[in-house]
Structure 1
Amino acid sequence: MHSVPPTPVTELPALEDLFTFDEFSRDFVEAARELRHRARTSLLRGPENSLVVLRNRDARALAANPQVGNMPAEILFWMATEMDLGSGPVTKPEPEQTAGFDRFLRNQVFTSNPPLHQPNRNILARQLMPRNILPFAPLAERLAQELVEEALERQQIDFVHEFAGRYATRFWAGQLGMTRDEATHVQALMEEMNLTFLLTRSPEQSEQMFSGVDTYMDVVGEAVRRAWAKGDNELLHAMAADLAKLDIEGKPEDIGTFVAANFFDGFHTVAVALVNVFFRLLGNSAAHARVRAEPSLVTNAFHEGTRLESPLMVSQRLALQDIEYEGVFIPAGTPVVMVWAAANRDPEVFTDPDDYHLDRPVQHGTTFGGGAHLCPGRNAARMLTEIALTTLTAPDLDVALVDHEHAWVPNSLMRHLTELPVTVRRVSR
């Protein structure tokens, strides 16, 4: 008997036959919901003959496959500076405009591939293991309470900027030896760096993004070098020691550049996760009441909130060599587009996938990737979010959504709200 030859990616059903680019990218959660009803396959052919991965089992398998690597910095740089992003030709910026952005990409763990990737990743992962982040908890608790006290002095606050953003940046600034003023500056820069996730940008937005990244790399890099030079920061000392042992081409420039490039997710994505999780919890009054009564349920709230509203909805990877997967031939160099917004709402894995269930078992979520690409900061993200939730759901606090139309940023790889007005009041027990 002759075996059936694998189907090339080029012969898979095309995404463009189901959606235009704008329809698909405007809101990936809505697009994923539509695809469940309209597509009979888990794998589609996307733009530039990319492989679009939708179902949970495929996303988990390919995310953990060592032959599927990170999208290299030079490709991401080209995409941001020269590629047509969907809104017309992009004017190529001058090299001096993009130097900081290039430095940001090239020093990230998330753009490195073997043989550099694993030892590079270990520099972060070793310091962010559960036992190593436990000493971070008291600072997080103090900051969460501090921000609650600030909120109590106001009629209402924007939870996005006045709690979550401040919480994340103040926390990591404290760990990295940065001043409160530097933390405030970094938080402001996050607004400009958010533009890196947009699939369509105007020339003005691109200029703002490049400027913001450049300033961020300088501010954080210099602060970290200063703190490391003092010799009393254990976190920086340990990472710098590991970095000094690394002798592979393409290794990060120095401890300041390494930290700036790789702790962006700490300053930015942790805040997005907290907003999304809390928004989902506040929107379900029964679940909110239960968490206030049973603080141990904050873990359930974290997992269910990040499942439904994964901060990163889509990520792009690259086939490092020829791969045959589930009867599909994926040539080396094929972009692999992981649609986490679809995988985390897969009805084959999650009953009532669009509904919020606080008691849902933790089932194969793909929020933090998998295998060699499992997010090294996932434990810290969970700890920080759960500490904030525990503070915000204390029995003597009443936090409520303000009647408001909640808008998700469109055409973005990130799932984040433009604002989230809430009221915070002290109540008697």
Structure 2
Amino acid sequence: MSSTQLTSVADLPAVEDFITFDDFSRDFVEAARELRGREGTDFLRGPMNSLVVLRNKDARTLAANPALGNVPADIVLWMATEADLGSGPVTKPDPEQTEGYGRFLQNQVFTTNPPLHQPYRNLLVRQLMPRNILRFAPAAARLAQELVEECAGRDRTDFSREFAGRFVTRFWAEQLGLSSNQAAHVQHLMEEMSLTFLLTRTPEQSQRLFSAATIYMDVVGEAVQKAWSDGGNALLDDMAAELATIDMEGKPQDIGSLVASNFFDGFHTIGVAIENVVFRMLSDETAPEQVRADPALVTNAFYEGTRLDSPLMLSQRLTLQDVEYNGVLVPAGTPVVMMWASANRDPEVFDDPDSYRLTRPIQHGATFGGGAHLCPGRNVARMLTETAVTALTAPDVDIALAGDDHAWAAHTMMRQLTALPVTIRRVNR
């Protein structure tokens, strides 16, 4: 097909031709369901002439396309501090306020492009491969059991903060050389840094985000640097040694910056995944007992829970060159928004896609991206989630939802509940 026959992104129907930006951003799962029900919505034009992709096959294909790179840190910072994303003008903060947030973005593998991206990504992937994360499994199991014991018998447990958040921060603190007090501090900082996922923020929220990012980069970076200097931490030793072999502009200056920037998802997003998987399992009256009776279903619980409620509901790439795909010309420099909230519920791929089926055949959805951008932490996310679910469905443990008011946070890229109260008890069966 010649370029003269292609439809440009600028000529595609706009998202706001079908739904207001406010409704679109309030709940991406509901918005995607509505958009998929309309004709001509496979590809849409979004804010800043972005390409919005809804269908599973398209999201998976484009996610693996090497011509789609990451959005560079300076553009992400501009979007966070200056871009008008739909709610009115944004006041540009003082550069000193955003210095820490800028460091956080600059050192992430998720903001790098060739030639640095692949060797930098490989550094993380090698440490988090299935055979390597086996060394972490005993610590994860022990921490999950400790948290069950801490929560058992309480009238009510805030699962997000008192189990999932504590579990992941304590786990990574042990692996990376942080103290228990530093782990608790990081968990608090994660709540503030989650503001980065809001589509619109007040000036006060932005200030909280930028302040938390600065403190986080200092606390984690300095603790990791000290743990590495003290010696005896194989994970840090391996990453620091490989970092030293990368001779390219833009790489992190030290192991502390590398870990702080790239393990944010470990401290934060994996906790959201655990919360979502457990919520979906508890929302089905039969699922906890099924998992308890057949521990092999723990894996199904992870995939089905993250399919329905992927922690990150969308991700954005940037075309590094002109791309032609399915009759659409996507010029170089175009943002491409892949809607996992839609792709993972695509009826062309998943039968009765909005239902929770613990015994659904496992289909690796688009939750973790693909190709050169396949999430480096996907294996450890699964291991930690399955470890938590295993502990919570042990024969002598009972966990249940407390109340029925479970609302999803609005106007955010994260699929996260505003609260998840549960009861956890030791029982004799």
Q: Which residue of 1 aligns with 2:411?
A: 411
Inter-partner Cα distance in structure 2 for 1:61 and 1:179 = 42
CA distance in 1, matches of 2:122, 2:353: 34
Instruction: State the TM-score, normalized to the length of structure 1.
Output: 0.98
Cα distance, 1:78–1:3 mapped onto 2, change above 3 Å: closer
Flag as ranges the 4+ runs of structure 1 deviating above 4 A.
Answer: 1-4
Aligned residue pair count: 429
Structure 2 letter corresponding to 1:150: E
1:244 aligns with 2:244: yes
Distance in 1 (CA, whole Å) between partners of 2:201 and 2:123 is 33
Per-residue Cα deviation, 1:140-163 (whole angstroms, up to 9, x for no partner): 001000000000142110000000
**SS of equivalent residue, structure 2 residue 296:** helix
Q: Is the 8 A contact 1:281 1:305 kept in 2?
A: yes
Aligned match of 2:188: 188
Amino acid at match of 2:95: P
Contact 2:398 2:427 in 1 (8 A): yes
Alignment of 1:144-293 (within 5 A): 144-293=144-293
- Distance in 2 (CA, whole Å) between partners of 1:259 and 1:3 is 44
- The answer (yes or no) to whether the contact 2:33–2:342 under 8 Å persists in 1 is yes
Distance of 1:3 and 1:165 partners within structure 2: 50
CA distance in 2, matches of 1:192, 1:152: 28
Corresponding residue for 1:112?
A: 112
Corresponding residue for 1:56? 56
**C-alpha distance after superposition, 1:359-417 (max 9, x if no partner):** 11122401100000000000000000001100000121110001131111100000011
8 A Cα contact 1:252 1:258, kept in partner: yes
With over 3 angstroms needed to count, the CA separation of the structure-2 counterparts of 1:364 and 1:139, relative to structure 1, is closer
Unaligned runs of 5+ in 2: none
In structure 1, the partner of 2:80 is 80
- The residue that corresponds to 2:355 in the other structure is 355
- Asked if 1:103 corresponds to 2:65, the answer is no
Between the aligned partners of 1:54 and 1:79, the Cα distance in structure 2 is 22
| Aligned-partner SS, 1:51 | strand
CA distance in 2, matches of 1:351, 1:85: 35
Which residue matches 2:127? 127
Between the aligned partners of 1:66 and 1:356, the Cα distance in structure 2 is 33
Give CA deviations for 1:201-230 in whole Å, capped at 9, x if unaligned.
000000000000110000000000000001
**Structure-2 change in CA distance of 1:422 and 1:222 (3 Å):** same
- Residue aligning to 1:393: 393
The unaligned stretches of length 5 or more in structure 1 are none
Q: Name the SS for the 1:96 alignment partner.
A: coil
In structure 1, the residue corresponding to 2:398 is in which secondary structure?
strand
User: How far 1:3 moved relative to its partner?
Assistant: 8.7
Query: What CA distance in whole angstroms lies between the structure 2 residues aligned with 1:402 and 1:370?
Result: 37
Q: Is the 8 A contact 1:109 1:120 kept in 2?
A: yes
CA distance in 2, matches of 1:100, 1:111: 15
Alignment correspondent of 2:313 = 313
Q: Give yes or no for contact 1:157–1:421 (8 Å, CA) kept in 2.
A: yes
Query: Is the Cα–Cα contact under 8 Å of residues 404 and 421 in structure 1 kept in the other structure?
Result: no
> Could you tell me how far apart the structure 1 residues matched to 2:102 and 2:405 are?
37
Contact 2:303 2:364 in 1 (8 A): no
Q: Contact 1:127/1:235 (CA < 8 Å) preserved in 2?
A: yes
- Name the CA distance, whole Å, in 2 between partners of 1:23 and 1:419: 22
Provide TM-score, normalisation by structure 2: 0.98
Q: Residue 328 of structure 2 aligns to which amino acid in structure 1?
A: V
What whole-Å deviation, never above 9, does each CA across 1:224-254 have from its counterpart, x for those lacking one? 0000001100000000001001111111121
Query: What SS does the aligned partner of 1:315 have?
Result: strand
**Is residue 153–residue 425 contact of structure 2 (8 Å, CA) maintained in 1?**
no
2:68 maps to what in 1?
68
Q: Secondary structure of 2:315's match?
A: strand
In the alignment, what sits opposite 1:23?
A: 23
Corresponding letter in the other structure for 1:205: Q
Q: Distance in 1 between matches of 2:188 and 2:3?
A: 58
Matches of 1:28 and 1:343, distance apart in 2: 11
Preserved contact between residue 145 and residue 391 of structure 1 (Cα < 8 Å): yes
How many Å separate the matches in 1 of 2:39 and 2:364? 22
Letter in 1 for 2:121: R
Q: Aligned equivalents of 1:420 and 1:287: distance in 2?
A: 17
> What SS class does the counterpart of residue 318 from structure 1 fall into?
strand
Percent identity for Structure 1 against Structure 2: 69
Letter of the 1:50 partner, please give it.
S
Equivalent position of 2:5 in the other structure: 5
1:85 touches 1:201 (CA, 8 Å); kept in 2?
no
Residue 332 of structure 2 is aligned to residue 332 of structure 1: yes
CA distance in 2, matches of 1:242, 1:233: 14
SS of the residue corresponding to residue 417 of structure 1 reads: coil
Structure 2 letter corresponding to 1:193: M
d(CA) in 2 for partners of 1:315, 1:18: 21
